[in-house]
Structures are given as structure tokens and as C-alpha cells.
Structure 1
Amino acid sequence: MFGVTLAGLSMLDPAVMNHPEVMHAVLAATLIGSHAPDFDSVVRLRGEAAYIRHHRGLTHSLPAPAVWAPLIGLPVAWLFGAMAHGWIVVLWSFIAVSFHIGLDLFNAYGVQCLRPFSKKWWHLDVLCLFDPYMFLLHAAAALVWLFGGLSPGPMFASVYGITIVYLIWRTIESKRIIKKLRRSYGTQGSITLIPSLIGRSWQFVAETDTAYITGTVRRGSVTQEAELSKTKPETYSTITKATMSTDGVRAFLHFAEFVHVQVNEKLDGYEVTWSDVRFWHNNSMPFSAAVTLDRDLNVQSDQLGWNKKSWEAPHI
């Protein structure tokens, strides 16, 4: 959707507006560029651990837009016979890739957008993976363009102006809620938020010196749901440490922020579950790594991933 509306925005440029071949090339480039960073999803073929470790990494990094732009823009410009305006096609490829990475930054899942200088996961916790309001706004504008209702350049300039205002408002709202939670729990530790799909409530995890506090904020009211004690790495049991060499747990620790470990004894061994409290929802932690050990602490099996349907909350 954003690939289409970015192409509409490019119609502000007379070189695009007055040359159909340039317009078609820009549309193709923005559609491809809007998807390009997620081409790293191909690593899922190597397993969930590889996907967790590499998705939203190098293809979303700081130099990525500058690399993607000519890789997409130049071949597309040549294909559509628009090489005389190739730099315009490259520019809009760059904008499309940058906009994709920027929107991922607003999501709670996060993105390693400062690689290669930092492997830290950055996330602003402002938007769901799918925001219905932005989608409807851009879809409506795209339909108006399709049926020739308004001049596309000014119309999409207004649409993106509204989008920017919306993002600023959501960011201010999230900061306001974080301040409220800091006052409520008297903590200077990390606080993460995940908005609901409709945006009327926020799920939170607040870190204190000894615990992770989870709950929701709805209409200014804070509701605490659970409090989980923190376990420091230096206090991990021998059973827990025996799972840390598995590929799944290593990938999990590469990504997770609020780590909670649970050890369950079984008849023939142990089950160790590593969960990220950041994605707590309805008394469960759907993102986890589970490892089964025998009595001699040999790994029997391990599993990593999301224990929820893609359309179920949290929407990250």
C-alpha cells in the first residue's frame, strides 16, 4: 500500500507527472523498495533460529537504503526505458526502503537500524505491525487516484502530512504513558509498550530492580496483571546453563530483552523454557525457546518461536 501511495506522492515532480514511462518505473521501484528489506525472510528456510537472528538486521541497517536504491532503481529504470531520469527512480527507491525501515522502528518488534555500528535492537513501541488507520487512509487515497478523483501529487502530500502528524501524536502518547508508569512504580528501569490493534489500550512491561511488572493501560487507568521475579545470569542453575549452548537459546538471547527462565522437572529429565516478558499477553509469554534435557543434562530437543497465531495479539 505504501509503495502505491509513495508513487502517487512522486507525481509532485513534473518529470514524473509528464513522463508515463518514469511514472511506471517509479511505481515499480516503490513497490519493490517497500518490500525489499524483508527479502531477508528467505533465511527462514534455514530454520527459526536463523530467522530470529537475521531478520530486520543487515537488510534494515543504516547503509541498506543506499545499497537497495541503485540495485532496485537502475534495473527498473532501464526496464521501463526511463534511464534519462534514472536518478529519480533511484531516489524513490531510496525513499521507499527508508520508509519501510522507519515504520519498523515504530513497531514493538524492533529493528537493527544502526548496524554495522551497533547490533542493538531499536523499537519505539508506537505502532502495531499493521495499523488500520494508516492503512485505511492510504487505501482510500489510492482508490481516489485509481478512479481519477483528485490530482495525485497534492492529495498524497496531504495524506503523508496526516501520516506524519499521526506518528508524532502516537509517539507523544506513548511517552506520556511511560511517564505515568514510571510515576506509578517509581522505577527508572526499562519500560516497553505494545499498543492494541485498535489503539485504545497499551500492554506494558516495567522493569524494577527485582522484578518485571506486566499489565495494561486503558483510558489512563493502569491495571497490573502479573509480577515476575528477575533471575540474574550469574544465578542460573546448572540445568539452565546446560541449555545455553543450543542454537535456539543463543538466537533467543540475541533478540530478547526481558528474559524469564522456568525449569520444570519431568520423569525422564527437565524442560527449560526461556521467555521474553516483553511480549506478555493474557497471562502467557508467546515468544520463547524451550529445551528438553535428560537426567544427565543432555539436550534431547529444542524449539524456538511464537506460540500464537499470526493474527492474535500481541500484534508485533
Structure 2
Amino acid sequence: MDTGTHIVMGIALGGLATLDPAIGINSPTTQAVMIGTIVGSQAPDLDTILKLRNNAKYIRNHRGLTHSIPAVILWSILITGVIYVFFPECSLLHLALWTTLAVVLHVFVDIFNAYGTQALRPFTKKWIALGIINTFDPFIFFIHILGILVWAVGGHQGYTFFSVYVVLIGYYILRFIMQQRIFKDVREKFEDVERIIISPTIRFRQWHLAIMTKDQFFVARVVDSELVVLDQFERVPVPQTKIIRAAEEDENISAFLSFSPVYRWEVDEYTDHYEVKFIDLRYRSKGYYPFVAIVQLDQDLKIVSSYTGWIFSEEKLRKKLHLLPE
């Protein structure tokens, strides 16, 4: 989820914690737990600082190790320990339990996005992305805001946020049912479907789809239960030529390939250089595919320049990276 939603979830969890008899409404433990749930709900996204290095590092590692099982344990111990130093009179056990729950909830809700996490590391590095909830879901965010407002005007924080989460459980179930209906519709309309990658949008009844069949890729969307195919590509395996192998050595290309499950590729040869480009088919905006990886190599197959990330026009890509002209 986005940072704002994780913050309000942390506040909500701190309010819910007041139903714990050991915490109560106003005590040192209450204050410590509120801090623990807010910080714990943010901690796994510390890897966002990798953006300061480069996009390749960020793409390869975001929601990876910091969202793994060992990280959940370490975040919980570290945050609990630091807070306990400042609130030694609080209940260490309950502080640890609610802080851990906040960290676990962060990782858990991220699984429902199309981006996903590597939540089962170290057992597997597979990305778990259920594609049920958009990274920012207006309903989830604003029902938390509503709960906070009810609390602010005197409502009981524990019962308020208990009600919020009961509603959200129903909401997640509804979204799951909607998604399964789309899967069923796709399998009825397409033959030899091997994989369906679904990305919910910020709009409740609109979804993006990347459909892999035996021989083709289909890019589609669902609006108000109507499935519309937007693009269709032949499914051509990436050839292991000298140019491709050289390109795959580049950090940006390898990061893209480690993350993207469905893409098409292009290789262009110019007078003095080669250009290899991979285009993620999960994301489509106004007829353009903005998530790409590109590398340019000279005649000796040495990397001249490269990039991976979000870009919304070829002109901006080349200006930003000073790539060689076509």
C-alpha cells in the first residue's frame, strides 16, 4: 500500500489495541503501543531509500528482504526495544505483540497489490502478488480517516476501529469475488490461457489485465464487467544472441527481468550501436507502456548507457538519460 494508508493503518491498530485489557485507554503502555503500531506499520518500507542509489537497486530490492520473515522478526524486536527504553514502565509483552502485529499487517496488505512482496523469504524468493487491491485504494484509506474522525469527536477508539476492520474484511472478500469472476470470464473467452496477471486500478470497477496464452500476449482492461482487448502481441521467446546476452549483463536490464513477469522485447541495430529494450505489459497508460528497461551497446557490445523505470515518452527517456540518438 502507499505510505499514507500504512500510516492510518498504524493509527487504527493503535486505537484497536485499547480493547486489550492490559493496555486500556490512557496509560504508558497505551502510548508506547500507539508509537509501536505507527512505526511498525512503516518500517518495512525503509528500503524506499534505495531510490537514492538508482532504480535498478530499488526495483530489485523494494518489498524484498525488508518484507521477509526474518525482517518482520527483526523489525519487531528493534522497534519494541527502542520504545521500551523510553517507556520502561509499559508492558513489554503487549508492546511487542502489537508492534509485531503492525509489521505483519504491513507485509500482509502489500501482498494484495499487483506489485506484491517476497514475504516468504528465505524459503522462496517468489513474488507474491494477489492483484486484488490497488496500491492506493480510496475506500480503504478514507474508511480509516472516518474512523480517526469518529475517535477525534469522542467515539471509543477500540470499538470504532474494530468496526472499521470488520467492514474491511468484507471489502477484501468482495474484491476477491470480483477478481475471480474476471478470471472466469477470461478463461471462457481465450484459449490456452497460461497466466492472467491482473492489476486493480484506483477505480472500483476497473482492472488492467495482461493475459498470456500459448502463442500470444493480450493486454486488456475490464470496466463495469466488460472485457476489452487493447493490444495483442505475438509471444516470441527472447533469443540468446550475443547482443541479448551482453544486454542482460547490465544492472538495469537484470533488475527489470528479475521483477517483471510479462514483457515484450525489441532489438534495434543502428550505424554505430545496438539498442535492446524490454517493455512491461502489465502497465498501460494512454496507449503507452511506461515501465521499461533499455540498454545501448557499442559495436563491441560494451554498455554505453542504460535505464530502467517509469517513463512516459521516448523523448523524455532520451533527454533524461542522454542516450545515443536512433
Q: Same fold (TM over 0.5)?
A: yes
Match of 2:171 in 1: 166
1:112 Cα deviation after fit = 0.5
Trace 1:213-224 onto structure 2 (pairs within 5 A): 213-224=218-229
User: Are residue 94 (structure 1) and residue 75 (structure 2) matched?
Assistant: no
User: Are residue 270 (structure 1) and residue 268 (structure 2) matched?
Assistant: no
Trace 1:1-316 onto structure 2 (pairs within 5 A): 1-83=8-90, 85-148=91-154, 150-233=155-238, 235-308=239-312
Secondary structure of 2:167's match? helix
For the residues of structure 1 that align with 2:107 and 2:230, how far apart are their CA atoms? 33
Instruction: Write out the 4+ residue segments of structure 1 that deviate beyond 6 Å after TM superposition.
Output: none
Secondary structure of 2:40's match? helix
1:165 Cα deviation after fit = 1.1
Secondary structure of 2:37's match? helix
Gaps of 5+ in 2: 1-7, 314-326
Asked if 2 retains the 8 angstrom alpha-carbon contact of 1:26 and 1:93, the reply is yes
Alignment-mate amino acid for residue 259 of structure 1: Y
Alignment-mate amino acid for residue 114 of structure 1: L
Asked if 2 retains the 8 angstrom alpha-carbon contact of 1:25 and 1:82, the reply is no
CA shift digits 1:219-277 (9 cap, x unpaired): 221110111122213x3443333211111111111111013111233343222111221
The count of residues paired between Structure 1 and Structure 2 equals 306
For the residues of structure 2 that align with 1:308 and 1:21, how far apart are their CA atoms? 50
Secondary structure of 1:134's match? helix
Quote the sequence identity (%).
36
Alignment-mate amino acid for residue 32 of structure 1: V
**With structure 1 as the length reference, what TM-score do the two structures score?**
0.92
1:90 Cα deviation after fit = 0.9
- Tell me: CA distance 1:18–1:110, structure 2 relative to 1, closer, same or farther (3 Å): closer
- Tell me: CA distance 1:178–1:82, structure 2 relative to 1, closer, same or farther (3 Å): farther
Secondary structure of 1:197's match? coil
Asked if 2 retains the 8 angstrom alpha-carbon contact of 1:259 and 1:275, the reply is yes
1:191 Cα deviation after fit = 0.3
For the residues of structure 2 that align with 1:159 and 1:18, how far apart are their CA atoms? 18
Alignment-mate amino acid for residue 246 of structure 1: D
1:19 Cα deviation after fit = 4.3
Gaps of 5+ in 1: 310-316
Asked if 1 retains the 8 angstrom alpha-carbon contact of 2:193 and 2:214, the reply is no
Asked if 1 retains the 8 angstrom alpha-carbon contact of 2:193 and 2:211, the reply is no
**With structure 2 as the length reference, what TM-score do the two structures score?**
0.89
Secondary structure of 1:39's match? helix
- Tell me: CA distance 1:212–1:71, structure 2 relative to 1, closer, same or farther (3 Å): same
